[in-house]
Chain A
Amino acid sequence: MFKPLTIVTSKTVVLPASNIDTDQIMPARFLTMTTKAGLGEKLFNDWRYHKDGSPTDHYLNSDAAKACEILVGGHNFGCGSSREHAPWALSDYGFRVVISSEIADIFRNNSLKNGILPIVIDKAAHQWLLDHPGEAVTVDLKSQEVRLPKNGGTYKFEVDAFSKHCLMEGVDEMGYLQKQTDAITDYEAKRAHAPASAI
């Protein structure tokens, strides 16, 4: 249910701070939204807007940033809550790839489920990216490589085979689980006789 992702070549937006948490990405007061549309506007809201709602001069408000598909974040990006509003907002803003030297667990999972590729890259490449904001970088999911320009080098990254398949085909997990209905029914039938806990 999202656009397939194979190769992304784009300039980067760099947010170098460590431990950028989901409260920064999407402040809690916007979590009352019950749809996904328009969340990109609220992405990093408290960095991008003054209290009166007028925009700050944060780079994310520039047209240059809005054209970028790759976000480079500082160490331990996306820590904090399980709110999926964070990847929804990143996706709605236009990002398809997030790169950091460490990415928090739930955020990483939530990203994969929403067509965003989270990449944990080694320290040297991460430092290069932090030092070169705005350079055009290529992410090749098929070969699992990040290619940096200007002799920055080529770096491999890990992605589990299943998520890779889903991203490249643009398919989601709901359909995959639906196909396992028989196995689930089977399991439930067997389980009923075990001393299992149930509400």
Chain B
Amino acid sequence: MTNTSPKTSPQTLFDKVWDRHVVVAETPTNPATLYIDLHLIHEVTSPQAFTVLRERGLKVRRPDRTLATIDHSTPTLKNADGTRPYVTPQAEAQVALLLANTEAHGIETHGWDSDHRGIVHVMGPELGATQPGMTIVCGDSHTSTHGAFGAISFGIGTTQVGHVLANQCILMPKPKTMAIHVNGQLGEGVTAKDVILAIIAKIGVGGGTGYALEYCGNVFREMTMDERMTVCNMSIEAGARCGMVAPDQTTFNYLKGRKFSPENFYEICEDWASLTTDSGAQYDREVHMKAEDIRPMVTYGTHPGMAMPIDGLIPTSQNEADEKALNYMQVKGGDAIAGTPIDRVFIGSCTNSRMDDLRAAAHILKGQTVKPGLIAIVVPGSENIKREAETEGLHEVFIAAGAQWREPGCSMCLGMNGDIGAPGELIVSTSNRNFAGRQGPGVRTVLASPETAAASAITGVITDPRTLTCEAA
């Protein structure tokens, strides 16, 4: 909204973006009506929303602010004849239904015939549809990813998908704000994934509940957009619905020249550059961490808060829930986690399937071989990334090492498309959730960075990438 009256009190980044989108202000009895700039949709959480529209005779209000793709139920393999091996006819029907719904409502859709199809949270930024100062929603909890651009971006349920389709607005009370400051120098081999796992381990899986996070400090300033996306992606794993990084030159450089980049780019950059937290602005909570204290991290339990330094000892259980998690994972408190034998490695997901991630994994796998008997799969986040990686020859590195190079999609992140492990298997995964059974019934998941995943693929045990580089060098 154009703002003529000067703001007197200093504001946080979140407040600034929020204020621009208030259509009807919050009252003690009613939530705010918040305008949504970009609505991303995919096949899993939209069908029932389109049904509601049909039942009530409603139209999509702003098809031009809606963008669709197919990613969750899509196979990552192709048959020799070019057909796709859907896991069930129902999965195929779900994809077909998305395409039919978006066609009927005139929504731009990146389906099988698009060069830009990909995981919804990889595709949006890549097309430049994700921009600073926006409000972005998607029926998917990892919508927090887009906060890397200084947008307020969060996951919604299917009922709200219906609300946004019909009204381009949602109802919500304003969350509290929390600043997470990480300053200092990250150590050798410590990645964005390790930073966010360390943050979640510190504040806990429920620590961010009710808050919008802002990641502050030189560590985030110095990150690439791919890295900032990895961090913001997992905000939800700390219970926060969204996480943000203030837009800066890195953001603008990334967005320049993309499909949806605004025509008056430089003019808009000036406005975007104003989207930072004013000095003196108050957060409801602040957390401080030292970059030097963060080491490469892995999870050892069944939620992302059960994360530990890879060179440390597994914490002993403090309660029944911990005990159950350790039993499920078949690990013992007091043991080292490094050296634990693994069965599979998955490199992919909206957390770690972008170019930075693939390059990092390829750097480690180059000239090496995946441990015989171990299955390693690499799934790029989008068709664009697949093409770019192939141009750089990364796929050849993976294939030569004995890893599989697949078609883009969510894949083994949640296994909806049938990409799952066998019961009991231990998978080192670059995804974001290690819940019991997420990667298949009985499967044990260890979350890690692409570097750690690649190093572990070579040795067949959970491996600190820093130790491997020394040996290989």
Partner of A79, one of B205, B260, B272, B416: B205
**In B255-272, which residues have CB < 8 Å from any A CB?**
260, 262, 264, 267-268, 270-272
A167-199 vs B: 1/0 string, CB under 8 Å?
Answer: 000001110111011011001101101111111
Q: Which A residues are CB-close (under 8 A) to B236?
A: 106
Contact across chains for A177 and B169 when beta carbons are under 8 A apart: yes
Contact across chains for A199 and B416 when beta carbons are under 8 A apart: no
Known: A197-B132, A198-B262. 20 other contacts (CB 8 A): A17-B320, A27-B437, A27-B441, A28-B415, A32-B90, A32-B91, A35-B47, A74-B321, A81-B414, A82-B139, A82-B155, A84-B158, A104-B206, A106-B157, A162-B29, A162-B31, A173-B159, A174-B159, A177-B163, A183-B23
Quick check: is A6 within 8 A (CB to CB) of the other chain? no
Q: Which A residues are CB-close (under 8 A) to B67?
A: 199
In the assembly, what is the distance between CA of A183 and CA of B169, in Å? 11
In the assembly, what is the distance between CA of A114 and CA of B435, in Å? 25
Quick check: is A135 within 8 A (CB to CB) of the other chain? no
Q: Which A residues are CB-close (under 8 A) to B24?
A: 180, 183
User: Are A195 and B268 also in contact (CB < 8 A) when A82-B141, A177-B169, A178-B167 are?
Assistant: yes
A17-34 vs B: 1/0 string, CB under 8 Å?
Answer: 111010110011101111
In the assembly, what is the distance between CA of A195 and CA of B90, in Å? 44
Contact across chains for B1 and A76 when beta carbons are under 8 A apart: no
In the assembly, what is the distance between CA of A93 and CA of B12, in Å? 43
Contact across chains for B37 and A160 when beta carbons are under 8 A apart: no
Quick check: is B351 within 8 A (CB to CB) of the other chain? no
Contact across chains for B155 and A102 when beta carbons are under 8 A apart: no
Q: How large is the interface on A (under 10, 10 to 19, 20 to 34, 35 or more residues)?
A: 35 or more
Partner of A29, one of B134, B241, B416: B416
Partner of A184, one of B23, B56, B158, B264: B23
Question: Closest 9 A-B residue pairs measured CB to CB?
Answer: A18-B321, A84-B157, A110-B157, A34-B47, A82-B155, A197-B131, A161-B29, A82-B141, A113-B159
Quick check: is A83 within 8 A (CB to CB) of the other chain? yes
Contact across chains for B37 and A197 when beta carbons are under 8 A apart: yes
B14-58 vs A: 1/0 string, CB under 8 Å?
Answer: 000000100110001111010101100000110110011000101
In the assembly, what is the distance between CA of A160 and CA of B159, in Å? 18
Contact across chains for B23 and A180 when beta carbons are under 8 A apart: yes
Quick check: is B160 within 8 A (CB to CB) of the other chain? yes
Quick check: is A123 within 8 A (CB to CB) of the other chain? no
> Which residue in chain B gives the minimum CB-CB distance to A195?
B271
Quick check: is B185 within 8 A (CB to CB) of the other chain? no
Contact across chains for A180 and B33 when beta carbons are under 8 A apart: yes
Q: How far is the CB of B434 from chain A (nearest CB, A)?
A: 10
Q: Which A residues are CB-close (under 8 A) to B338?
A: none
Quick check: is B72 within 8 A (CB to CB) of the other chain? yes
Partner of A173, one of B35, B133, B171, B324: B171
A109-128 vs B: 1/0 string, CB under 8 Å?
Answer: 11001100000000000000
In the assembly, what is the distance between CA of A165 and CA of B28, in Å? 13
Partner of A199, one of B65, B87, B91: B65
A129-142 vs B: 1/0 string, CB under 8 Å?
Answer: 00000000000000
Contact across chains for A160 and B157 when beta carbons are under 8 A apart: no
Q: How far is the CB of A193 from chain B (nearest CB, A)?
A: 6
B74-109 vs A: 1/0 string, CB under 8 Å?
Answer: 000000000000011011011001000000000000
A-B CB contact pairs (8 Å), 12 listed: A17-B320, A19-B303, A82-B156, A84-B159, A106-B236, A113-B157, A162-B31, A180-B33, A184-B169, A187-B35, A197-B131, A197-B132
Q: How far is the CB of B56 from chain A (nearest CB, A)?
A: 7
A47-74 vs B: 1/0 string, CB under 8 Å?
Answer: 0000100000000000000000000001
Contact across chains for B97 and A32 when beta carbons are under 8 A apart: no
Q: How far is the CB of B100 from chain A (nearest CB, A)?
A: 11
Contact across chains for A106 and B167 when beta carbons are under 8 A apart: no
